[in-house]
Each structure stands twice: as structure tokens, then as C-alpha cells.
């Protein structure tokens, strides 16, 4: 059964899509069959960071123009991708039925992959929370700024209180100064532990680096453009550490419960 790893943040522009693209490439290069899902349902752009096309997207899958299997693009030996549409209406306010249909579709393919990385949209709504809660691992992305970790706190609060998710992995992006960021995160985590009954594992602090943007301009992942860079080494270590974590099989929704609800209904 594929291990589904969610990347969410609440706040936009903190580096979720950048992380999914780069960690996804590294996990695939490590001989694990990896599927990257663009879950930014109507502002899809993970394709840009991967240099992939977006000819087949979730809206076409859901309207049955093509099957999910037909929409999955193979980008490399072990790297696969499902795109989301950009600027199309229909998925912006997702009904429970539509969410169940997506669960049902995913249920049919996740067993074919070792790891599935789910790039969520920004904001906090059921189209983020339901899918995040169903995942086995929950990566929360933040920057060192208070506006960003306030949203990280909000999403952990909702996932823990509403969906009983009790373990999170935290990744800090765009750090300008390592020691200062570490101090900010120490204080943040002590508040999280006091207020929410959860376990949070800080997996890494990734520096601010203009080359992430350079890579997007080239429509390529940073780790592919700079394979021998120390930052690629750091991201590789983080990808390995994420896969070494104990996976929460028992918490959250799990994909199947929603999928079965859909199957019953059709």
C-alpha cells in the first residue's frame, strides 16, 4: 500500500510546491516508485516546477473525459505526476460527493506506488483538511515568520482536534539565519506542545536561496539543476528521514473510508 505524505501550510507562498517537486525527485531517484499529486485544485502549478505538461488534469478525470491512469504522466524512471487545472471553475468549492470521488479514484492507484506526495492548496478548508487527514504522514511547511507559523499552528490544531492526527513533521523554508530560526522554532514548538496534544518532529530548516526561483524559471527542480550542491544533499537527507519515520497507519481518515462511501453511492 502506498504511503501518502501530505504537504500543507495554511499560508500561501511558503514553499510547499517547491518541496514536493524537489523531495519527490529525490525519493524517485532513490528507486522508490513515487507519485506526485497536485492538490491545488484550480490553481495547479506543480507541473511548472517539474517541467511537466498539464494536458490531463483533475477536472477531466472527474468529468470522466479520461481515466486517472490515463492522466498520470511518467516524468522519469520512478517519477509520476497528476496535474491540477489552472483557472478552471468547478473544483473551487468542492462538494462532499466530489471529494469522495477523488478518494475513490486515488484508492484505485495508490497501491501501485511506494510513496505518494500530496501538494495541497493554501488556505484551510475541507478540500485541504479531508485529504490531509486521510494521509499517513503530515508535513507542515512554514517559514520563520509569525504570519506563517500562526497558520501552521492553525492547521495542526484543526487536524489534531477534528481528525485526531497526533503526529506531524515540520519543515521550515526560507530561513535567512539558521540560529535565529532555530530559536523561533524552539519557542513555537513549546507553545504547540503546551496547547495541542501532538508530537511534532522538526525535520529541517532550509535556507532562503534565490536559486529555487531560478530553477522555477528554468521549469526544473532545484535538485536536478544543482545535483551536487550542499542544499541538494540536505534535501536528500530530509527525504530519507521522512521515509524512515514511523508511519501512522491507524490515525486520520484513511483514503478507503471515503472511497467506499462513493462506491456505495454509485
Binding site for ligand ADP (CB under 6 A): 9, 12-18, 122, 173-174, 206, 208-209, 212-213, 216
The whole-angstrom separation of Cα 29 and Cα 52 is: 17
Least distance in Å: CB of 264 to Mg ion? 33
| Interaction partner, residue 245 (Mg ion, ligand ADP, none; CB < 5-8 Å by kind) | none
Q: How far is the CB of 260 from ligand ADP (least distance, A)?
A: 31
- Smallest gap from Cβ 65 to Mg ion, in A, equals 25
Does residue 17 belong to the site contacting Mg ion (CB under 5 A)?
A: yes
Q: Which is nearer to ligand ADP, 187 or 219 (CB)?
A: 219
Binding to Mg ion by residue 127, rule CB under 5 A?
Answer: no
Question: Shortest Cβ distance from residue 214 to ligand ADP (Å)?
Answer: 8
Give min distance, CB of 66 to ligand ADP, in A: 26
Based on CB atoms, which residue is closest to ligand ADP, 67 or 122?
122
Instruction: Write out the DSSP string of 89-148.
Output: SSSSS--HHHHHHHHHHHHTTGGG-SEEEEEEPSS-SHHHHHHHHHSSEEEEEE-SSHHH
Kindly tell me which of 107 and 119 has the beta carbon lying closer to ligand ADP: 119
- Applying CB under 5 A, the residues found at the interface with Mg ion are 16-17
Amino acid at each position: 500500500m502506498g504511503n501518502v505524505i501530505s504537504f500543507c501550510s495554511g499560508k500561501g507562498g511558503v514553499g510547499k510546491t517547491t518541496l514536493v517537486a524537489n523531495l519527490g525527485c529525490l525519493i524517485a531517484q532513490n528507486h522508490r516508485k513515487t507519485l506526485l499529486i497536485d492538490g491545488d485544485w484550480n490553481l495547479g502549478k506543480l507541473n511548472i516546477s517539474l517541467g511537466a505538461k498539464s494536458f490531463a488534469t483533475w477536472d477531466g478525470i472527474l468529468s470522466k473525459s479520461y481515466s486517472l491512469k490515463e492522466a498520470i504522466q511518467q516524468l522519469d524512471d520512478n517519477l509520476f505526476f497528476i496535474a491540477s487545472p489552472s483557472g478552471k471553475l468547478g473544483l473551487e468549492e468542492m462538494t462532499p460527493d466530489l471529494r469522495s470521488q477523488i478518494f475513490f479514484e486515488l484508492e484505485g492507484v495508490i497501491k501501485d506506488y511506494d510513496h505518494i506526495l500530496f501538494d495541497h492548496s493554501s488556505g484551510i478548508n475541507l478540500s485541504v483538511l479531508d485529504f490531509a487527514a486521510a494521509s499517513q504522514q503530515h508535513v507542515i511547511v512554514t517559514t520563520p515568520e509569525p504570519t506563517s507559523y500562526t497558520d501552521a499552528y492553525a492547521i495542526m490544531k484543526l487536524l489534531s482536534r477534528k481528525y485526531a492526527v497526533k503526529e506531524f513533521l515540520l519543515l521550515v523554508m526560507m530561513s535567512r539565519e539558521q540560529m535565529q530560526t532555530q530559536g523561533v522554532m524552539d519557542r513555537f514548538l513549546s507553545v504547540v506542545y503546551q496547547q495541542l496534544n501532538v508530537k511534532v518532529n522538526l525535520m529541517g530548516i532550509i535556507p532562503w536561496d534565490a536559486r529555487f526561483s531560478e530553477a522555477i524559471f528554468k521549469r526544473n527542480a532545484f535538485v536536478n539543476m544543482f545535483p551536487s550542491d550542499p542544499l541538494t544533499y540536505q534535501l536528500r537527507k530530509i527525504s530519507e528521514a521522512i521515509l524512515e519515520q514511523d508511519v501512522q497507519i491507524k490515525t486520520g481518515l484513511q483514503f478507503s473510508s471515503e472511497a467506499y462511501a462513493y462506491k456505495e453511492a454509485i
